[in-house]
Structure 1
């Protein structure tokens, strides 16, 4: 299987960077993973800002030449791993800008008659690894599970991706946040993960 990691944090020398390294470490010990690619949105200076004008129309976003590389990566991947913090109850604006531009009509989904579109990214799976300052169950208890609903139902299921796994790690800024144990959990998951 081909594994694509979308890393969204402005510092590689951070806890999020350590989670990225844990994904890589575990994946390198998994014989089912043929190849692994990392997209570091901050390092690549990905521009998350949507621009629509007389030269750049929303309906043509699926063929924007500046996004060709990123579309090819998504098509190549069997499993897509997102590593990011949860800020204000949702992923960073950088990642949301990536999603806005890449998960576009006529690439990630196609409108059809009826309530829901046809998802064009069927057959892929996703793992979301997120960190937060507050308690692990904060998004569920206080925000009505908004983070998972946004990512799983409003995005991935919409584009045809049904298999979605979440790791939401809370208390990550506390000295007793069990960071080492959580990092090891990610290593072990990716050592054994199948498609």
Structure 2
């Protein structure tokens, strides 16, 4: 199982970075994981801005030479792990910019004349590890599950992913909160995950 980990947090001393470390630790100990690539969007200095002009046309996004490396990563991976905080009920703008630029027509999906397009990133699964300051049930009860709907239905299922698993960890900024327990949960999950 080839695994791409996409990490989106600007601080390497953050709790999200600790989740990244536990994820990598578990994946490296998993005998079913054949190879791992890490994409740290902030460290990579990924440019999240969409640019459309005479030189860069929207219909040609899937051929943008600046994004070739990232397209190859997505095609290569069997499993994609996203690690990020939930800010204002959604992923960070950096990750949303990555999604805007990468999930282009004729790369991630193809229009076929019917209501829904054909997802081209098939036979892949995703795991989303996200943290938030508020309680775990906040997105469900207050935001009608907007985060999960965005990431699973509006994005990953749309482009062909079959399986999407979420770890939404709330109350992560509380003193004496469940941080250590959640870190161990993530390590154990990735050490044993099979598909």
TM range (shorter): over 0.9
Residue 163 (structure 1) aligns with = 163
For structure 1, the residue ranges without an aligned partner over 5 or more in a row are none
Matched residues in 2 for 1:105 and 1:91: separation? 22
SS of structure 1 residue aligned to 2:51: coil
Q: Which residue matches 2:79? A: 79
For residue 16 of structure 2, what is the aligned residue in structure 1?
A: 16
For 1:58 and 1:11, the matched residues in 2 are separated by 32
Q: Which residue of 2 aligns with 1:117?
A: 117
For residue 68 of structure 1, report the CA deviation from its aligned partner: 0.3
Cα displacement string for residues 70-128 of structure 1 (whole angstroms, at most 9, x for unaligned residues): 00000010000000000000000000000000111000000011100000011000000
1:65 corresponds to which residue?
65
- Structural mapping, 1:37-56, within 5 Å: 37-56=37-56
Q: Structure 1 residues 172-181 or 120-129, which shifts more?
A: 172-181
Question: In 2, distance between residues paired with 1:175 and 1:33?
Answer: 35
Aligned to 1:108: 108
- The size of the alignment, in residue pairs, is 195
1:189 — aligned with what? 189
Task: Give the TM-score normalised by structure 2.
Answer: 0.99
**Deviation readout 1:36-64 (Å, 9 max, x if unpaired):** 11000000100001110111111100010
The reply on whether 1:136 has 2:136 as its aligned counterpart is yes
In the TM superposition, residue 13 of structure 1 has moved relative to its aligned partner by: 1.4
Q: Which runs of 5+ in 2 are unaligned?
A: none
Which residue of structure 2 aligns with residue 94 of structure 1? 94
Alignment match, 1:178: 178
| CA distance in structure 2 between the partners assigned to 1:76 and 1:150 by the alignment | 24
Residue matched to 1:145? 145
How much does 1:176 deviate?
2.0
C-alpha distance in 1 between matches for 2:104 and 2:127 = 20
What TM-score comes out, normalization by structure 1 length? 0.99
Shift of 1:162: 1.6
Partner-residue secondary structure (3-state), 1:154? helix
